Amino acid sequence: MKYKDLFAQELYGACDEQLAKEEIVQRIEKPKYEKLGDYAFPCFDLARVQRTAPDKIASNIASRIQSPLFQKVVAVGPYINVFLEKESVASEVVNRILQEGCQYGSSNLGEGGAVTIDLSSPNIAKPFSMGHLRSTVIGNAIALLLEKSGYRPVRINHLGDWGTQFGKLIVAYRNWGNETKVRQNTIKELLTLYVKFHEEAESHPSLLDDGRKAFKSLEEKDPNAVALWKWFREESLNEFNRIYELMGITFDSTNGEAFYNDKMQRVVELLEEKNLLTESEGAMVVEVDENLPPCLIKKKDGATLYATRDLAAAIYRYETYGFKQALYVVGNEQSLHFKQVFEVLKKIGYEWAEQMNHITFGMMLKDGKKMSTRKGKVVLLEEVLKEAIALAEQNINTKNPSLKNKQVIAEQIGVGAVLFHDLKNDRRNDIDFSLEDMLRVEGETGPYVQYTNARACSILRKGHFQNGGPLEPIKDREAWPVITRLNEFPRAIERGVKEYDPSQVAKYVLELARSFNKYYGQIRILDDVTHLKARLQLVSAVSIVLTEGLRLLGLHAPEEM
């Protein structure tokens, strides 16, 4: 039950509907101190409407509100403070969680509507760096949150498998490549060649023209160029899939940029039909609006660009999936590009373009600077994951050497540490890469939440807990902060979906873990037979919510650590 909404409904009636219910909900606050109540409502807006002192209004309304779920309602100066009836609320919250299990917090908000999510999208022939982690894990978590809320997410890995960079790589391979070396260690050697190309181009600028020509030959389906491209793509996918499997991430489509080669002419024809294409210095562009530069559709040499392919991709996705929303989980630096693409689609006349959103996120920095594949300054994601797993395994061998399935649990902890380090941050902020911070097992980390759940599972095993039977009332005053946190889980999911921000759920599970650990430190849960069942029911509810919260972030919740 949404107790905040219940309070708002009572206020709405008690103030004779002088404020809209939505306004009341927005103004309800959470008091800083527990002794001031569970919710508070300031009466300043009502004072302006009624032309009466806010403290008098608060006193009048407080006397009119009654509910069996409210222990008391009091006026504190200009505020109306409500205290929930703790035992009834606690029973209602825990009972609901135990009955619904992992479905707790689910809704049918999306009514089964499809949402395409463009995420990850690494470039083939380049290593999967930490720079691609953010789009991958943020996009996957958004997909999980949308699914929880009744949408049908379609995860699309729009691979960077086309463009001038492949012309550069073909030139580099032809000039300096060694087939044996490349076959033995494909991605590493191709990265070396790519970096060498840019180093050589600084003193030999003609190489850049060679790269453009090589890409043009690829577009014209030159057999040798196509064979090299296919080889680079296949080897890259093999490497990417190994990393995705480690992170537990799957896709509904891996159609990359090349997939849209035969679909771009339709875009050009549509733009011509609508008289939207104009020539600018030999190139073909669409004038978007006075606040944006023109959207480049074709270069002077006739080669297509990112915008052309993204326009073709958007049309294909709508016709294939009939999406209710289309999300692009791509870094902040691409904001202008997506503004142009969305505006061009609107100019063509596609009403569904209004449902397209660019989900921005900050950069993963190293020493305060952007990572650059071109200059070879990358941190490889697979190496980070392996190091995190090794550290987790080392901790297990030190603290719990007899643990079963050590390797599996070490992977769950190590990978979870890396994913959670990203997702606990507001997606719009830059993150400075720090392996040390990422792998800590205390504080605001994934392993801390996982360990809290493992502790709860251990208590349940020792108490021989079995779900079912009548609910016992929870008498512990110390349990109230845990109850209030448990009740907030559906709202954390709602915020995460509304703001496309998984950090809402990451912060929530941290708060729930802290509240539970404080309760655990105050109450000897297994020592009092009289209250044992009620306490174990609470512990079970905590484990259910922590496990589901971690799942929505793409993390496992080991029952032992």
State whether the Cα torsion 358-359-362-366 is positive or negative: negative
Question: Strand, coil or helix: what is 467?
Answer: coil
Overall average pLDDT of the 177-183 stretch: 90
Per residue in 449-486, pLDDT (tens digit) is 999 999 999 999 999 999 888 899 999 999 999 999 99
| pLDDT score at 185 | 83
Q: What is the structure's pLDDT at 454?
A: 97
Look at residue 377 and give its three-state secondary structure: strand
pLDDT digits (tens, 9 = 90+) for 258-292: 999 999 999 999 999 999 999 988 889 999 988 89
CA distances to 122, 161, 189, 231 from 237, in Å: 10, 10, 15, 10
Decide if 296 contacts 271 (C-beta within 8 A). Answer: no
pTM equals 0.91
CATH says 114-266+307-370 is which class?
A: alpha beta
Give the DSSP letter string of 289-333. -TTSPPEEEE-TTS-B-HHHHHHHHHHHHHHHH--SEEEEE--GG
pLDDT tops 90 at residue 446: yes
Q: Does 220 or 139 have the greater pLDDT score?
A: 139
Q: How far apart are CA 275 and CA 288, in angstroms?
A: 13
Beta bridge partners of 153: 115
Nearest to 338 by CA among 363, 367, 373, 313: 313
Q: What topology does CATH give the domain 381-552?
A: Isoleucyl-tRNA Synthetase; Domain 1 (1.10.730)
Q: List the chain domain ranges.
A: 3-84, 114-266+307-370, 381-552
Buried b (16+ CB within 10 A) or exposed e, 445-456: bbbbbbbbbbbb
The architecture of the domain spanning 3-84 is 2-Layer Sandwich (3.30)
Examine domains 114-266+307-370 and 381-552 and report if their fold is the same: no
Question: Is the distance from CB of 169 to CB of 153 less than 8 angstroms?
Answer: no
Contact between residue 155 and residue 141 where contact means Cβ atoms under 8 Å apart: no
pLDDT at 390: 93
pLDDT of residue 377: 59
Q: What is the model's pLDDT at position 443? A: 84
CB 211 within 8 A of CB 166: no
Rounded Cα–Cα distance for residues 454 and 558 (Å): 6
Query: Tokens 């174990």 map to which residue?
Result: 536
Tens of pLDDT, residue by residue over 352-376, are 999 999 999 998 887 777 765 555 5
Report pLDDT digits (tens) over 98-118. Answer: 999 999 999 999 999 999 999
Q: For the residues 195-205, what does the mean pLDDT come to? A: 93
